[in-house]
A and B are shown apart, each in its own frame.
Chain A
Amino acid sequence: MPLEPIALLPAVVDLPFREGYVSSTIYVSLYVSVTAVTLSTLFSVPVAIVLGFTDFPGKQLVKSIINTGMGFPSVVVGLLVLFTVSNQGPLGPLDLIFTTEAMIMSQFVLATPPITAISLAAITGVSENVRDAARVLGGTRLDVALVVIKEARYGIATAVLAGFGRAISEVGSVLIVGGNITSAEGISKTRTLTTAIQLEARQGQYETAMVLGAILVALVLVVNAIVVRFGDTEAVNR
C-alpha cells in the first residue's frame, strides 16, 4: 500500500513550528515591550524634567540610583517582581503571576532607568539661554518645560529606543515572571521571542531558534531604521 507523501512530511522535513506559534510569539513580545516602554516613557520623561529643572537635597543620590539601575541585572528584577506578584507578595491578590501584565511590570522596571537617564542628559543639554528666552518672551513654567521637551526631542527619541532595545531583547525577567507558557495548541501566552529562542536552543531545535533569532533582530532593525530615518530627515533640514 503506497504511503501518502504528505503524511511522511513531518518525519522528513520536521516543520519547525506549528501554525500560529511564531505570530503569537511575536505578538506577545511586541505587546509586552511596547506597553512597558510606553508606560515607562510617560513616567520617565516627567521625572527627567523635574530632575533637570529643580535642585533638591538628595538629587545626586537619585541620579546615582538611576545610573545604577541602567546596569541592574534583569534576572534580579524578575525575581523582585516575582516576589511582588506571588501569592504571598503585596500584589498577590491580583493573581498576576505568569501573565503578560507581570512581564510588563518587570520590563517597565528595566526600561525606566535608561529612558530616564538618557532623557535627563538630553534635557540638561538644552541651553539655559533657550529656557530663559522662552520665559522672557512671556512663557509660563509649563511653556518653558514644553520648549525644553521640544528642543530635546531627538535625545528623548534615542532614550525611548534604548529602553525598547533593552526590553525586547531581555530574557531573564520575562522568563521568571512570565513562565514561557504556550497553550496546548502551541499558541504563545507568555512566551516571547527571547524565551522561545532560549527554550528551542536548549531542546536542540537550532533551526527554530535561529529563525526566531532572525525575526527578533529584524524587529529591532526595523524599529531602529524608523528612528534613524526620522533623524535623517532632520539632518537634511539642518
Chain B
Amino acid sequence: MIRVSNVSHTYGDESVLETLSLSVEPGEVLGIIGPSGVGKTTLLRILSLFVQPSEGTIELDGRAAWSTDESERLALRRQIGMVFQEASLFDATVARNAEYGLRVRQPWSERIRDHLRSILGSSETAASATEALDVVGLSQKLEQEARSLSGGEAQRVAFARALAYDPKYLLLDEPTSDLDPRNTGLIEEAVLEARDRDIGVVVATHDMHQAERISDRVGVLLGDGFTEIGPTEAIFENPTDERTRRFISGELVY
C-alpha cells in the first residue's frame, strides 16, 4: 500500500498542496479529479518519489521513502511505474522502449551483452515486454521505430513501457487527454487489466466521466487539498461536500 500522510508542498512561496492524505491499495484504481493547475501532477510526482514533499511522509508497504538512503529509495521507486501526459518515448524501436525498465534493473554485464546483441540484431524481446505491448494491442509493432507511431500508439507504448517491469503501483498523469476516443478506450481497458493484475493504479484526470468509468475510488482535488475522497459511486451520486457537488455538476468552473 502507498500511504501519503499530511503532505504539503510549496513551490517558492506558492502553496500547491496542503496537509493531504491518501492511500492506494494493490488491485484498486484511484481516480484523482480536479481542474487543470490544481496540483494533480505535483501529487503524482510526489507519489512516484520523484519530488520530495515540503512536509509530510510517504510510505510504501510500510517503508518511509524519504527517511532512507538513496539506494533504498531507488528500490522503492522501482516498484512504481508512471506514464506522463506526453508519451516521451525514447528514439528507438517499440520493443527497446518497452524493455527499458527491465534493462535498467539488470546487472551491467547482462546489459552490455544485451546491447551487443541488439547491435548484431540477434536480440529477442523480453516476454514481459511483448506481453505488456499485447495489453495495449501493439505487440505486432515490436520493430517499428517509436517516432513513426501516431500519438495514440505512442501513448499506448508509454503505458506498456511502465507495465512491462510488473510494477506494484502505476501512476497515470492525464494519460488520455490528447487522445481520440478509440485510443482512450484502449488505455482505459489497459488500466482495468492492470488492476486485475493486482496493481494499484492512480489516474489523475480532468475528465470526470473517465474517472467514473474506471475508478474504484475517487479523490476530488479542489483548492490545495481533497474536498472529498471515497468510493466512486458515493462521490458521484451523493457528494457530502458542497464544493464537490458543484464541481461534479459543472456549476463550479475554475
Residues of A within 8 A of B (CB): 127, 129-130, 132-140, 143, 147, 150-151, 237-238
Contacts and interface: CB of A to CB of B under 8 A. Distances in A.
A130 B161 CA distance: 13
A138 B88 contact: no
Interface stretch (B61-69, B73-81, B221-229, B237-245): B73-81
Contacts of B88: 127, 129-130, 132-133
Contacts of B145: 237-238
B104 A143 contact: yes
A134 B89 CA distance: 9
Contacts of A237: 145
B11 interface: no
B32 to A, nearest CB: 17
A134 B161 CA distance: 11
Contacts of B165: 137-138
Given A134-B100, A137-B101, A238-B147, A129 B84 contact: yes
B101 to A, nearest CB: 4
Contacts of A238: 145, 147-148
Given A129-B86, A237-B145, A238-B147, A137 B50 contact: no
A138 B101 CA distance: 6
Given A238-B145, A238-B148, A139 B90 contact: no
A135 B50 contact: yes
Contacts of A136: 48, 50, 77, 80-82, 84
A188 to B, nearest CB: 37
Nearest to B101: A137
B209 interface: no
Contacts of B113: none
14 contacts: A129-B86, A132-B50, A133-B88, A134-B100, A136-B50, A136-B80, A136-B82, A137-B101, A137-B161, A138-B74, A138-B78, A138-B105, A237-B145, A238-B148
Q: Is the interface of A mostly helix, strand, loop or mixed?
A: helix
Nearest to A127: B88
A134 B158 CA distance: 11
Contacts of A129: 84, 86, 88
Contacts of B147: 238
Given A132-B50, A237-B145, A238-B147, A137 B104 contact: yes
A135 B82 CA distance: 10
Contact of B74 (A132, A134, A140, A151): A140
B90 A147 contact: yes
B91 interface: yes
Given A133-B161, A136-B77, 16 more contacts: A127-B88, A129-B84, A130-B89, A133-B89, A136-B50, A136-B80, A137-B81, A137-B82, A138-B101, A139-B104, A147-B90, A150-B91, A150-B92, A151-B90, A237-B145, A238-B147
Nearest to B167: A138
Contacts of A151: 90-91
B128 to A, nearest CB: 14
B104 A130 contact: no
Contacts of B100: 134, 137, 139
B90 A133 contact: yes
B162 interface: yes
Contact of A150 (B78, B90, B104, B162): B90
Contact of A140 (B90, B101, B104, B161): B104
Contacts of B91: 150-151
A150 B104 CA distance: 15
Contacts of B81: 136-137
Contacts of B86: 129
B84 A133 contact: yes
Contacts of A135: 50
Interface in B123-180: 145, 147-148, 158, 161-162, 165
